[in-house]
Structure 1
Amino acid sequence: MTGWTRRDMLRTSSAVVAGTMLADVAGAAATPQPSSEALAHVAPELRPAARQIMLLSAQGGPFTDAKLPKLRAMGAAGAQPPLADIPVQTRQIVVGRGRPDVTVYVVNARPGGPARPAILHTHGGGFIVGSAKQELAYLQQLAKDIDCVIVTVAYRLAPETRYSGSIEENYAGLRWLHAQAAILGVDRTLIAVMGESAGGGHAALLAIVARDRGEVPVAFQSLIYPMLDDRTGGAVRLPPFIGAVGWDGPANQYGWRSFLGMAPGTAQVPSAAVPARVADLRRLPPAFIAVGGVDLFALEDMTYARRLTESGVATEFLLVPGAFHGFDRVAPETPQAQQFTHAKLAALRRAFATGG
């Protein structure tokens, strides 16, 4: 991390680690030093990145509604430019049910050639920040690496839009991808859902909605440090070193409260909005779930992988010791990030080679 500037950090992480490291530091008082106890649980190779993230998080303070416009603008300004050699198309698609149309970005479509696999992608950002457009360079490289088409949905963010709105927008993207498969050069039987962080939560919800509605067959779900349970960091307390880097308990509770439109962690929270609250996980597509060992989502992701397995869903689970939320994007050259990325790509390739 030597020589990294704050802009470099934002450019690399803004679309993945939802918000706390995007905080505005103007006028900040003396910066608290990162907790040595928390850093002791981070893998040595990842500690330089973790230290910088913790410094930025400490300077920014907690989330508020008033901060969101600036956080979103900062994330957009730090996005990497799209790659020149992988095509991207922009489409407006109908959501229906009285909702406005939604924008999707189509990455690496090659009409007229052999049908290829496809991914319906949902971006991260704690449900409150991030955008599909910010993720285009990352998705272009992913599409190139596994030779597939990717459609990513610019779903509306919370708190302006609650869970039912963004779920329907993402489902409209999935339904559109399936309907346009021949035009996009996509094999309808090889469509996966994928997302990171809150996008992983959305991908899990998409797999459930697609199963329940029976309109679009989903071959695979790739859930990358997914945000699955509104109780984490609130009703469910974790050891202090878990979630100490980046996305923490208070941020998680703010994100879920914004998404749900009500207090998270209560009996009134609808299961339709929270993958971890869905009682029946049977007949879902095979899954790959990966998370770091000190990520706030480590335990809820482990639990979800166990429940999928107990429900008869073929599930691969990867837990990377000492890795924090979004580590693969802020420290991609570390051995932990390379292991993580290799496993993610290998799981997608196997799923597409075997039909899930």
Structure 2
Amino acid sequence: MTQDQRATARGMISKGDPSRSPAQQRDDFDAVFGALPLGDDVTLEPRSLGGVPALDVKVAGAEGDGVILYLHGGGYVIGSARTGANLAAPLARRTGLQAVSLDYRLAPEAAFPAAVDDALAAYKELLEGGREIFVAGDSAGGGLALALVLAARREGLPLPPAVVVFSPWADLTLSGASMDTRGDFDPLFSRAHMEAYVDHYLAGHDPKDELASPLLADLTGLPPLLIQVGTAEVLLDDSLRLAAHAAEYEVDVSLDVVAGAPHVYQYNVGLMDEADAALTRAAAWLTQRGFGGAVA
């Protein structure tokens, strides 16, 4: 990325005060990411999916039989289906698949396992439609995507054919070395931020629960997994260790690391070359497996 692009990306984000209330943090996040332009070819339509509010992210020409279930990031405390649409839309555009972004319940009002329950309910309804479903998510939504697959496996449900996660938060025990060694490089988070999110979401529940920390789970039988991460983030080791752990369980895993890129740098699509390239690679990874076909 150019220096100007790096400055633009960093200018969109900054380390907030982790002591601010969830409501204040949501307002801050929505002010930056809640109304980013999606493109003239995108229409958002509210719907219910398994009793959970969601948005159909309709991209002109993306009419493939498969569907992307997108799970937004935000530490299980902030974010929304609308912020998730910022990444669901370019994925749909590049794959030709339809997409839906889920408004799962947030903590602390709805603590663990509410988000997992909502994602599973939505997934079950999509399964009833008979279409191929693949799951994608960023940050906490990336961890939730993995938790959803584990929950589906536990219930004996068909698993998605592929999973894509951007900078996944997969270890709520916060044991990765980068939680401390990358704190000065990460323009968005520090250990204090992640500890606050853990407190809100788990509300005292064991962080070693596999549905809270999929990194610690038995990953036997998981579908092909694509992980994308930047090096300028405290969650770097979640991705590195997740890839190694998945490989130990014979999961088909691909790891994509971009030097100097911040947390979920894909949000900077149209502003940062690496963001556009990463989303294009993610779409190609899916289409190589027989899902979708780019429309633009």
SS in 2 for 1:166: helix
| Greater C-alpha radius of gyration | 1
Offset of 1:346 from its aligned partner?
1.4
Q: Which amino acid aligns with 1:302?
A: L
Identity %: 25
1:131 to 80, 85, 103: 80
* 2:55 corresponding residue in structure 1: 105
Counterpart in 2 of 1:19? none
The residue that corresponds to 1:274 in the other structure is 213
2:137 corresponds to: 195
Please give the residue correspondences for 1:247-258 in structure 2 after superposition, counting only pairs within 5 Å.
247-258=189-200
Does the 8 Å contact 1:191/1:219 carry over to 2? yes
Look up the equivalent residue of 1:227 and give its one-letter code.
W
Indicate if the aligned counterparts of 1:50 and 1:245 stay in contact, CA closer than 8 A: no
Contact 2:87/2:267 (8 A) holds in 1: no
SS at match of 2:163: strand
Equivalent in 309, 330, 334 of residue 272 of structure 2 = 334
Q: 1:210 aligns with which of 149, 152, 157?
A: 152
Asked if the contact 1:276/1:304 (under 8 Å) is kept, the reply is: yes
Two-structure CA RMSD over aligned residues (Å): 3.0
Question: Which residue of the partner structure matches residue 107 of structure 2?
Answer: 158
TM-score, normalization: structure 2?
Answer: 0.85
1:238 alignment partner, SS class: helix
**Cα pair distance change 1:170/1:251, threshold 3 Å:** same
Pair 141,235 (structure 1): closer, same or farther in 2 beyond 3 Å: closer
- Partners of 1:50 and 1:86 in 2: how far apart? 23
Counterpart amino acid of residue 309 in structure 1: A
2:105 corresponds to 1:147: no
Question: Any runs of at least 4 consecutive aligned residues in structure 1 with deviations exceeding 6 A, and if so which?
Answer: 233-236
Read off the aligned partner of 2:151 and give its amino acid letter: V
Structure 2 spans left out of the alignment, 5+ residues: none
Q: How many residues align?
A: 289
Kindly indicate whether residue 20 of structure 2 is the aligned counterpart of residue 71 of structure 1. no
Choose from 283, 289, 292 the match for 2:227. 289
1:74 positional shift:
3.9
Paired position in structure 2 for 1:122:
71
SS at match of 2:160: coil
1 CA distance for matches of 2:156 and 2:91? 28
- Cα displacement string for residues 285-320 of structure 1 (whole angstroms, at most 9, x for unaligned residues): 100001001221111211111111111110110111
TM-score (norm 1): 0.72
CA distance in 2, matches of 1:136, 1:337: 15
How do 1:213-228 residues align onto structure 2 when only pairs under 5 Å count?
213-228=155-170
CA gap 1:43/1:317 in 2 versus in 1, 3 angstroms? farther
Distance 1:233 1:308 in 2: 17
Matched position secondary structure for 1:170: helix
User: Which has the higher mean CA deviation after the structures are superposed, 322-331 or 284-293?
Assistant: 322-331
CA distance in 2, matches of 1:237, 1:199: 18
Distance 1:236 1:107 in 2: 34
Structure 2 equivalent of residue 18 of structure 1: none
8 Å contact kept, 2:87–2:266? no
**2:86, 2:267 within 8 Å by CA — same for their partners in 1?**
no
CA 1:138–1:51: 2 relative to 1, 3 Å = closer
For residues 170 and 216 of structure 2, the distance between their equivalents in structure 1, rounded to whole angstroms, comes to 9
Q: Report matched runs for 1:27-38 at 5 Å.
A: none
